[in-house]
Amino acid sequence: MPIRCEIVSQDRMVWEGDADIVIIPGTEGEMGILPRHAPLLSTMKFGILKVRTQGREEVFAISGGIVEVQPDIVTVLADAAENVEEIDVARAEAARQRAEEFLKAGPPPDTDAYLAMEAALRRSNLRLEAARRYRRGVSRPTDYGEGGSTTGRG
């Protein structure tokens, strides 16, 4: 029996479906959630979330948030989340350059704007890295991990 998984971000439902296992980027470390897992509430760091079902794997870039686990459902509430297949690399690259340009000037009087740009830089860097490493059909370097498949990498 699979476990239900819902991935929601601030502005949309990103993905929902059944999973054999959901691998979460928990703040305290990666967590593999199987069906009938004990109830759990955790924060998530910026990282990669994987949903595996019947030999298929969906990979998501998660820009932090919280996850609630019940025995039959995993609910991911992310600040931002994208399936790696839908990441617009040009947009992420433009966002990264914009943020870097802004931050180069150092902390301005408006600290909120500075912190927002820092967060934008982290989001864009995560998207670029996630697209580079996990997108299907893109050739991946083989020298950074234990093999080149999208499965099996932690």
Contacting residues toward ligand ATP, per CB under 6 A: 9, 11-12, 80, 82, 86-88, 91-92, 95, 120, 123, 127
Taking the C-alpha atoms of residue 119 and residue 74, their distance in angstroms, rounded to an integer, is 26
Query: Of the two residues 5 and 65, which places its CB atom closer to ligand ATP in the complex?
Result: 65
Shortest distance (Å) from residue 151 CB to ligand ATP: 23
Apex 65 CA angle, 110 and 1, nearest 5:
170
Query: Of the two residues 3 and 65, which places its CB atom closer to ligand ATP in the complex?
Result: 65
H helix or E strand, kind and range, residue 75: strand 73-78
Shortest distance (Å) from residue 59 CB to ligand ATP: 14
Apex 135 CA angle, 131 and 140, nearest 5:
90
> Do the beta carbons of residue 25 and residue 48 sit within 8 Å?
yes
Query: Of the two residues 21 and 67, which places its CB atom closer to ligand ATP in the complex?
Result: 67
Shortest distance (Å) from residue 74 CB to ligand ATP: 19
Taking the C-alpha atoms of residue 139 and residue 132, their distance in angstroms, rounded to an integer, is 9
Query: Of the two residues 72 and 88, which places its CB atom closer to ligand ATP in the complex?
Result: 88
Of 94, 71, 80, 91, give the one whose Cα is nearest residue 49: 80
Query: Of the two residues 19 and 80, which places its CB atom closer to ligand ATP in the complex?
Result: 80
Contacts of 27 (CB under 8 A, 6+ apart): 42, 43, 44, 45
Shortest distance (Å) from residue 85 CB to ligand ATP: 10
Shortest distance (Å) from residue 126 CB to ligand ATP: 10
